[in-house]
Every structure is written in C-alpha cells, then in structure tokens.
Amino acid sequence: MNLAKFARRRYTPAPTPLEAMPRLSAALGGPNLFIKRDDLTGLASGGNKTRKLEFLVAEALAKGCDTLVTVGAVQSNHCRLTLAAAAKEGLKCRLVLEQRVAGSYDPKASGNNFLFDLIGAEAITVVDAGADLSEAMAKVADEVESLGRKAYLIPGGGSNPLGSMGYVACLEETLSQCFDMGLALDHLVCASGSAGTHAGLLAGAVGVNAGLPITGINVRRPRAEQEGNVLDLAQRTAALAGVATPIKAEAVTCLDDWVGPGYSLPTEEMIEAVRLLASLEGILLDPVYTGKAMAGLIGLCRAGHFKKTDNVLFVHTGGAPALYAYQSIF
Ligand SMILES: *Cc1c(COP(=O)(O)O)cnc(C)c1O
C-alpha cells in the first residue's frame, strides 16, 4: 500500500492521541484497555467522518465540483462534518436527511441538527426510512446542476472505497504509534455502521499483515447483513489500496447484541457505558454509536472474551455533539 498516491486534504494536523484507560481497565478487572481518540480529529467537533472526507473532498475538488451533496440520519455526525469540510473549502453543501425513526426530524432539535443550520446547509430534504437515498441525492444533484453548478455526491457515512481509505490510513497511523509506545495490540474494537470505518481498518490490517483481529459492534443491522456489508466494502477498499492478500469472510466479525430496539434508540447498557467513560476517564461518548460500541466492549470484557493480559484498543469514532439531543435519557 502506498496511500500517498491518493489526493488528500488535511483536516487533522497530527496523529490523534492513543491513550491508556487505566481506570476503566481496573474497574472491569482487565484486560488492558486503550483508546484511539478519533473524536479529536479536525473539522467541527471531530469524529471518524473527517478522515473519510480528507479523501472524498480532495476528489470533489479535483473534479471541479462546487457543491457537496450527502445523506444521513436526523442527528448525523457525517452531515455535520461534511458541512464543515464544505465551509472550510469554500464549497456549498446540501443534505438529504433520512428519518430512520418515524417522525424523528425536528428542525428545532439540538445536537447535530442545530449545527446543520449554524454551519450553513444550503438546503435540507427530509425523506422517510426506506426511501431510495441514491434517487433522493440524484434529485438534489439535478437541482444543483440546473443552477449551472456541479455536485459531488457522497454516500451515507462517506462509506465507499475512497472514503474508507481514511481508515486504512488510521490503521497505519495506529500501528506506528503502537510501535513508538512499545505496545503490542491483541485486539481492536470499533462501532460498525455504514461500514467504512470497520472495512478500512480491516483492509489496512490485512494490507500490512498486522495479524490484528477486529471486532465491530453493530449499531443498526443484524449480524449477517452487516458482516456481508463490511466484507464487500473491505474487499473493494483493499483493491483500491492495492492490497494483494485476499480478505476472507472469517476476518469479519460484527456483533449485533448491543443494538437494542434499533438504530439510535437508547439502551441501558449504552447509558452505563457513556456514564462510565465520562466519570472514570473524562471521555465523552455518544448515544448512537460509540455508547453502544463501548457497551459491547464492556460486555465482552465481563464475559471473559479477552485474556486479562490482552491489550485491547477501542477506536473512538466521535459523536459527542449528539449527546445534547439526548439529555433527557441521561
Ligand atoms: C458514522 C459513525 C460511526 C460508524 O462508522 P461507519 O464508518 O459508518 O461504520 C461510528 N461512530 C460515530 C460517532 C459515527 O458518526
């Protein structure tokens, strides 16, 4: 792999911190837990989509596009960060918001929704769950073109092979930090949603022959469906990155035990995980993704899934701005 061959904008000036979580590790009685602070990437309030946008926006600029069009849930971190990238680059940005929970769009809602307006979405189209999202985006793109402008379409979560390259890069960055720290990781855990993060990490780990198992914790889909999505995207990402080793289905694990009643709907385990990380480590998780992913990691630790001496890294993918839209459940 030689990622420098890809055009890239830089939105985070330095590697994100990789920190130990000694108080959480002690509270759980092991293993040794670490955290990759991708909640501290650049753009407005950070998160995993920043890394994907570095590659996607570079392509948009190379193609001479002046308007980013993307899609997400009503509290989408991805939409917030796409807006922020557009603002920074002097581009316009239009959003399609999917009401994955019926009636969940409230134009006056706090959290990311408030930031859509603040950062300056040029237009917002709200569609119901199950709507054809590519069709909805194509319609927005037509509107943009009818104004004599040029749209660049970014799929949900920025999760195509080019966007996932951001997490191939994150895997390389992480291993380099671990080498400097003398830290040999045994396992990696991340949230698995639109799959670009998980797929990029996996393509990177296979690409450098890291021998590092990765467990995704689902936030929306059933296990078999998510594992299929991650495998497919990891293979396409690996092909784009020039990874020669095939990615096998056995390398993909997506646990669905912590989704609860559905995407973005609170669970007791999520609330406990958000509270534990805040009170023991001073780290803010989010209710939709990292709270559930951390609930999964905590559940795996308690179930004895890891050896007590294992070094396990949690990839913090961001999302804390959504906390303010969920204050009442805490
Ligand atoms: C989008 C998102 C995820 C999921 O990442 P995918 O690449 O979509 O699987 C995890 N955490 C946060 C905070 C997110 O916004």
Residues lining ligand 1, Cβ inside 6 A: 47-48, 77-78, 157, 159, 191-198, 286, 289-290, 317-319
| Ligand 1 binding pocket mutation candidate from 197, 202, 285, 315 (most atoms within 8 A of CB) | 197
C-alpha span between 19 and 24 (Å, rounded): 12
* CATH code, 3-47+160-329: 3.40.50.1100
Q: Which two tokens stand for residue 10?
A: 């830089």
Q: What is the DSSP string of 72-130?
A: EETT-HHHHHHHHHHHHHT-EEEEEEEESSTT---TT--THHHHHHHHT-SEEEEEETT
Question: Does this chain's domain 3-47+160-329 share its CATH topology with 63-157?
Answer: yes
Ligand 1 atom showing the smallest separation from residue 193 Cα: 9
Does the reported pTM lie above 0.85?
yes
Q: What is the DSSP string of 180-242?
A: HHT----EEEEEESSSHHHHHHHHHHHHTT----EEEEESSS-HHHHHHHHHHHHHHHHHHHT
* Per-residue model confidence as pLDDT tens for the chain (330 residues): 999 999 999 999 999 999 999 999 999 999 999 999 999 999 999 999 999 999 999 999 999 999 999 999 999 999 999 999 999 999 999 999 999 888 889 999 999 999 999 999 999 999 998 899 999 999 999 999 999 999 999 999 999 999 999 999 999 999 999 999 999 999 999 999 999 999 999 999 999 999 999 999 999 999 999 999 999 999 999 999 999 999 999 999 999 999 999 999 999 999 999 999 999 999 999 999 999 999 999 999 999 999 999 999 999 999 999 999 999 999
Task: Give the residue extent of every domain in the chain.
Answer: 3-47+160-329, 63-157
Q: Are 91 and 66 in contact (CB under 8 A)?
A: yes
Q: How far is CA 127 from CA 69, 73, 80, 116, 204, in A?
A: 15, 10, 18, 16, 35
C-alpha span between 218 and 227 (Å, rounded): 10
Please tell me the class of the 63-157 domain.
alpha beta
Q: What is the pLDDT of residue 208?
A: 97
